[in-house]
Structures are given as structure tokens and as C-alpha cells.
Chain A
Amino acid sequence: MSEVAMDATPPEAPGKGGIFTPFNIITTVILLGGAAILGLRFTHGLAATTNLSHTYPWGLWIGFDVMSGVALAAGGFVTSSAVYLFGMKEYKPIVRPALLTGFLGYFLVVLGLLADLGRPWRLPFPFIKSAGPTSPLFEVALCVALYLTVLFIESTPPVFEWLGLKWWRKLVGSMTIALTILGLILSTMHQSTLGAMYMVAPTRLHPLWYSSHIPVHFFVSAVAAGLAMVIVEGMISHRAFHHQVEISAERFESINFGLAKAAAVTLAVYLAIKCVGLAIEDEWHLLGTGWGAWFLVELLGFVLLPCLLFAVGYRERRLTLVRVAAVITVIGIMLNRFNITFVAYNWNRATTEIYVPSWMEIWVTVAFITFAVVAFRWIANRMPVMYEHPDWKGVH
């Protein structure tokens, strides 16, 4: 019978007692609102709750939850592959929170998909009833489903440690390398195939955003967004769970600077392949147009700028600069995915049919994010995510 070592439970966060804290109240209000809207969505259809139209079949739920959510949850595979495959042991402490964010991120993606699908109960159809292998979406669905299970297994160690199930914990421990490799394969594929989904519409997506290299653009920007998300998530959880964090502030900073360096390099690579993309499709003249200006805002304002901020922040060891850059990168990835999903999409249609997300769509998306945050907080408060469980110190 495994007894739980007394000091295994995390020290209680000071002054957080009681149910009716402002955090709990706000989250319950958001979640209930979200549930109500979803109820309306499933009784009166998508027309009643969204501004989707025949010309804009995909809106915020696909644009944010699926497209941006997947990219922001890329922190999981980036950090786990860095630590376990490429032997960068110094980043070990942030692997677990990153994996947990990844898992909850992908859960949010599936929630978004379920809300947006016409008949969500038929989600398993492509695998069990009739598969459409020619479709990029088929490949994305397959990889997201598999990767969700991989992430789930990878984030079970803290749970087993919490429950003291040593045998299970050892079993999962032994599979880490295989899981990380599988996770990396699945992530590479669906991050890039998400981009490949837009290759079918060369006339509907603006030529500046459309490129035959979209999959590579999506993948590299997802890696950059993952790194940025890990930094942002570290910033928030470091403050929220300060009492649990074991590693010294100095070590935490050096981890952040390591991530900043990686993010700077990835953003530089992303900027480079975007410029090459312009050259290959010979679109220099389009930069002079209105769309060109908007493209430059996205490219220079949200890729070049954070890249330089990361570089300067890393070089001068200024943590605030790194965090500002991380936030800009996260917003940048969302902007890029929104641009591709409904801003620069149907760019040559009459401007009377522009798609603007309805407040209900925004509310549901916020509700999904809140659900993820609440889950993260619930898990981190109980399980050894922020710190290493004493019995399993230094174990794989």
C-alpha cells in the first residue's frame, strides 16, 4: 500500500481559502454563459449563434480554437523533444507545465471543433464509417486524435505520482522516449497539414498569404508560437504557483533566456521563409497595395519585431523584454491564423459580405479558455507539476 509521503502535498497557497473568491465567481459566470450559448447552438443551429455564412463557412471557432489553439499548444512537443530527444536537461522543470498546457490546449481544440461541427456526434465517422484520405482535414483529424492521446499519456505521470501508483508511473516513465518521438511526428504532420488545408483555395486566399509553402510556414510559426506560449505560461504560472516552485529564480530566468534564444532563431527562420515565399511567387508588387500594408503589419510588426526583441532581451538578459516579445508572438500567431481563416480569405469578394465574429462566438471561445485555465489550476494545485515529487526526484 503506498502511503503518501507527508511532504508530498504541495504547500498550501497563502490566503486562498473559501469558495467565493473573485476568480471562482468570474469563471463560473463565463462557463455558465458559454454552456447556455452552446445549448442555444445545438437547439437552434449555427445560424442563431454565429455570423457564419455560405461565403465564410469557417469563423472564430475554427480560426482561433483550431488554427491558433493547435499552434499555441505546440509548446508541449517542442520542450519535450528538446529535453528528452536532444538532451537539453536544463529545461526539464518546464516540461511538465508545457505538456499540461499542450494537453489542455488540444482539449480546447477538440471543444472548438465539437462546437463548430454541424453534426459533432459524427466526429469519428472519418475513421470508422467512411474515410476521405485525400483530404488534408482527414490527416489533421487523425493526428489530432492520436496526439491528444499521446499528450494525455504524457501528462499522466503527475497524476500517478499524486495517486502514488508507482507501477503505472514506472510504466509511463519507460515509454517517455517513444511517446516523445510519436508526439513529434504527429505534431509535425498536423501542424503543417493545417496549413496545407488552405492550399485548395488559391483564388480565395490572398496571394500574399497563399503560398505553395503554407505547410512549412504553419509548422515553423507553430514552433515559434509554442516557445512563446511556454514563456507566457511560465510567467503566469510562476506568479500564480510561486509557493510551489522549487527551482531558483535565477535558474528559471536562464530557462526563459534559453527559450528566448530559440524563439529568436525560429522567428528569424520564419521571416526568412516568408521572404523566400514572396520571391518564389513574385509578389513584390503586391506589397504596395492595401493588402500589402496589412501583410507588412503582420510580418514586420508581429514577426520581425518580436524576433529583435527576443534577440536584444536574450543578449542584454532583460526578462521583461523577453516576456513582451513572447506576448507579441502569441498575438502575432493569432493574427496570422485569423488573417488566413477569414480576413484575407475571400479577399476579392464584395466587401458587403465581410465576416465579423458574433459576441456569442467570442463568449464561447473565452469560456473554453477559462475552462482550460481552471483545469490547469486545479491540476497544478494538487499534482506535482510545478515541482518534482520527492519520491521521483531525478527519475526519468
Chain B
Amino acid sequence: MTVTRRGFIGGALGAAAAAATADAGTVKHFEGYPGRYGLLHDTTLCVGCRSCEAACKEVNGLPPVTEPLDDPTVFDSIRRSTDTSLTVVNRYVEGGDDHGAVYRKLQCMHCNEPCCATVCPCHAFEKTPEGPVLYHAELCMGCRYCVMACPYYALAYEYDNPLTPKVMRCTMCYDRIKEGKLPGCAEACPMGAITFGRREDLIRVARERIRKFPDRYIDHIFGEHEFGGTSWLVLSGVPFRELGLDEGLTTEPLPAIATSYLGVVPLVITIYPGLLLGMYAFSKRHEAVAAAEREEAVTKALAEADEATQQKLAAAADRAAKDKQRAIDAAVKKALADAEKGGES
């Protein structure tokens, strides 16, 4: 199922409203900041020693690792990043006699087009030119829409903090990068399963590794295009779906999908008043016409009524005249008769 922004038809209120084809997204194409940093995670080299977890906690001043590093039972369940451990390593494939176990490190992927930044109503996220996506707790009102939107489940929230809850996520050690140092996890990884460098260099290195060891890697760099591409790139020997990373539904950046409907909003604001006033005028005129018709019908009825009454009056008058006439004739006849009788007697 590909979610296509162009396929979206933004419909407004019922039949009468203007259904505008919302192509909110512009037709422009963005390559992102040139020379931005990224990290390459080669899951065929990761041996699950979790030194990155310990280093991340230490660098960020978080409570130390609860499960000891050499305790393998931690891999029995698939964990997720939380507000106290911004990155976790999971074992996705059990080690067998002919193949080693496959581990993967989870953390914020620092997308090229971050949907967490797009959906934040307070603009508390920022995609920095250096690459990391940063979060500003001083602007956040704690609506947690970012935690809900992230397709990689990478954001966590301080639910137990009543007054100053913050969204907790990997910041790619932004301050260390600015000082020219490596992010904590990249520096700690003994196997070089996490390499830090400029994103385009890392893509070239990843392609080179795939070319050199064709049967060690799946010929796909996860994160090159998924949802518009991410800063964290993942190489794997097993299908990505087994690592909890499905190849992504679409290469369309999520922000484009999320805001595709908002294109309709200005249209609704502009079209509705005219439309509704038209409706109002129409219903008003409709009423006026109805009233006028009623008026006319009434007058007509009255006119007919007058006419009818005129006719009745006229008829009554004729009748009265005829009666009178008859009465006069009768009286005259009677008078004549009297006169003849008078003459005879």
C-alpha cells in the first residue's frame, strides 16, 4: 500500500462544499543540508557487547546500565528505548552453529525529513545543518504527538516527572560533534559496528562493503530512502524485516504525508464564507420568494373572494330587484282587479 500524497483528495463539508484536490506538498524536491553527519550501523559486525549502551548513559549523565553488560538474559526479550536509556541493543536472530547471532542497536534515526519536528505544534524540534534532530524542552508543552508519530518508536517521555516532563531521545551527541569528537556510542564500539562520518561518505562506504562481500550483506542500505532517508544507515546480512525494520512503506517523507491535508485548510477558510453566505442568501431569497408567493396567493385568493362576493352581491341584487318587480306586478294586478270589482259593484 503506498500512501501517495498526490492521490489524496481533500474533501470539505458535504456535497455543496468545494472539494479541492489538496496537493499541499510543493512539487519541489529537497536534498537536505549538504555534508551533514550520520552513522553507519553494520549489524554483521555487532557482537552485542552493549558497550554503546553504557557509553550513551555515561555521556548523557543518565542512570547507569541496570542489567550487567555480560548478562545474556537481557536479550531474551526485545526491548525499546526508554526515557532513561536512549539506546538499547536487541538480539533479533539466535546464534546457531553455522551462523552468529544478529544484534541491532535501536535509537533515534535522525531522519532527513523528521516527522517528529513536523507534528510538533510548538516547534520544539529542529533539524540542524550538522545532521542531528534536536529537541528544546523549554518550548515543549508535553502533548507527546512526536512520541505517537515516530515510525521507529524512538522517542520516550518522562511520565513520572510531574512538573518538568521532557521527551527523551538520542541527540547524536550534538555537543560532542560540535567539539569534533565522536558520538559516545561510536567511540565505545569495539567492533566498529557503528561508524560516524558524513552521510554521503557512509553511503559510499556501505556500498563498497556490499560490493566487497556480496554474500555477507543484503544489497540494501536501510535508511538511504526510507521515509525520505535517515542519518542512521543500517547494513544487515538478514532481511531487515527480521530486525524489526520493515523496508519502510514508502520513500515519501512522512512530513509530506502528514501535512498533505493541511493544504485544504486555507481553501476552507477562503471558500466557505462565500459559499455559506451564498447558501444563506439562497435560503433567505428562497424564503422571500416563498413569502412573495404566499403573498400573491393570498391577494389572488382575496381577489377571487372579492369577485365571488361581488357576484353574490350582484345576484342578490338581481334577485331583490326581481322580487320587487314581482311584488309590484302583483300589487298592480291586484289594484286593477279591485278597480274592475269596484266598477262592477
Binding site for B on A (CB under 8 A): 41-48, 50, 52-55, 57-58, 81, 84-87, 116-120, 122-123, 125-126, 129-132, 134-139, 141, 177, 181, 184-185, 188-189, 192-193, 195-197, 199-204, 207, 210, 212-213, 215-216, 219-220, 223, 269, 280-283, 349-350
Q: Can you name 10 A-B residue pairings with CB atoms under 8 Å?
A: A86-B279, A118-B144, A118-B157, A134-B259, A137-B143, A177-B280, A181-B272, A185-B272, A188-B13, A199-B3
The answer to whether B261 touches A125, judged by C-beta atoms less than 8 angstroms apart, is no
CB neighbours of B12 from chain A (8 A): 188, 192, 219
The answer to whether B269 touches A136, judged by C-beta atoms less than 8 angstroms apart, is no
CB distance from B290 to the nearest CB of A (A): 9
Asked if B120 is at the interface (CB within 8 A of a chain A CB), the reply is yes
Whole-angstrom CA separation of A375 from B5 in the bound complex: 44
Given A53-B159, A55-B153, A57-B144, 7 more pairs with CB closer than 8 A: A117-B143, A119-B165, A122-B141, A125-B122, A138-B121, A200-B257, A223-B14
A86 in contact with B283 given A188-B272, A212-B4 (CB within 8 Å): yes
The answer to whether A52 touches B143, judged by C-beta atoms less than 8 angstroms apart, is no
Interface string of B121-155 (1 = CB under 8 A from A): 11110000000000000011111110111010101
CB distance from A60 to the nearest CB of B (A): 14
The answer to whether A57 touches B139, judged by C-beta atoms less than 8 angstroms apart, is no
The answer to whether B145 touches A45, judged by C-beta atoms less than 8 angstroms apart, is no
Whole-angstrom CA separation of A141 from B120 in the bound complex: 12
CB neighbours of B249 from chain A (8 A): 202-203
Asked if B162 is at the interface (CB within 8 A of a chain A CB), the reply is yes
Which listed residue, B81, B155, B162, touches A43 by the CB 8 Å rule? B162
A87 in contact with B273 given A57-B147, A118-B165, A135-B118 (CB within 8 Å): no
CB distance from A358 to the nearest CB of B (A): 12
Whole-angstrom CA separation of A223 from B165 in the bound complex: 36
Q: Which residue of B lies closest to A126 (CB)?
A: B121
Whole-angstrom CA separation of A269 from B246 in the bound complex: 35
CB distance from B230 to the nearest CB of A (A): 14
CB distance from A348 to the nearest CB of B (A): 9
Whole-angstrom CA separation of A180 from B104 in the bound complex: 56
The answer to whether A125 touches B139, judged by C-beta atoms less than 8 angstroms apart, is yes
CB neighbours of A123 from chain B (8 A): 141
Asked if B236 is at the interface (CB within 8 A of a chain A CB), the reply is no
The answer to whether A87 touches B286, judged by C-beta atoms less than 8 angstroms apart, is yes
Q: Which residue of A lies closest to B154 (CB)?
A: A54
The answer to whether A213 touches B287, judged by C-beta atoms less than 8 angstroms apart, is no
CB distance from B265 to the nearest CB of A (A): 5
The answer to whether A189 touches B269, judged by C-beta atoms less than 8 angstroms apart, is yes
The answer to whether B260 touches A117, judged by C-beta atoms less than 8 angstroms apart, is no
Number of interface residues of B (CB under 8 A): 76
Q: Which residue of A lies closest to B272 (CB)?
A: A185
The answer to whether A181 touches B277, judged by C-beta atoms less than 8 angstroms apart, is yes
CB distance from B222 to the nearest CB of A (A): 14
The answer to whether A130 touches B165, judged by C-beta atoms less than 8 angstroms apart, is no
The answer to whether A199 touches B120, judged by C-beta atoms less than 8 angstroms apart, is no
A200 in contact with B10 given A54-B155, A131-B123, A212-B3 (CB within 8 Å): no
Which of the listed residues B14, B118, B119 has the most CB atoms from chain A within 10 Å of its own CB?
B119
The answer to whether A199 touches B260, judged by C-beta atoms less than 8 angstroms apart, is yes
The answer to whether A203 touches B142, judged by C-beta atoms less than 8 angstroms apart, is no
CB distance from A127 to the nearest CB of B (A): 10
CB neighbours of A134 from chain B (8 A): 117-119, 255, 258-259, 262
* A-B complex: 4 closest residue pairs judged by Cβ atoms: A118-B142, A87-B283, A200-B258, A122-B141
The answer to whether B276 touches A57, judged by C-beta atoms less than 8 angstroms apart, is no
Which of the listed residues A118, A207, A282 has the most CB atoms from chain B within 10 Å of its own CB?
A118
Q: Which residue of B lies closest to A137 (CB)?
A: B121
Which listed residue, B149, B162, B254, B280, touches A45 by the CB 8 Å rule? B162
CB distance from A128 to the nearest CB of B (A): 10
Asked if B7 is at the interface (CB within 8 A of a chain A CB), the reply is yes
CB neighbours of A184 from chain B (8 A): 13, 272, 276
Whole-angstrom CA separation of A184 from B272 in the bound complex: 8
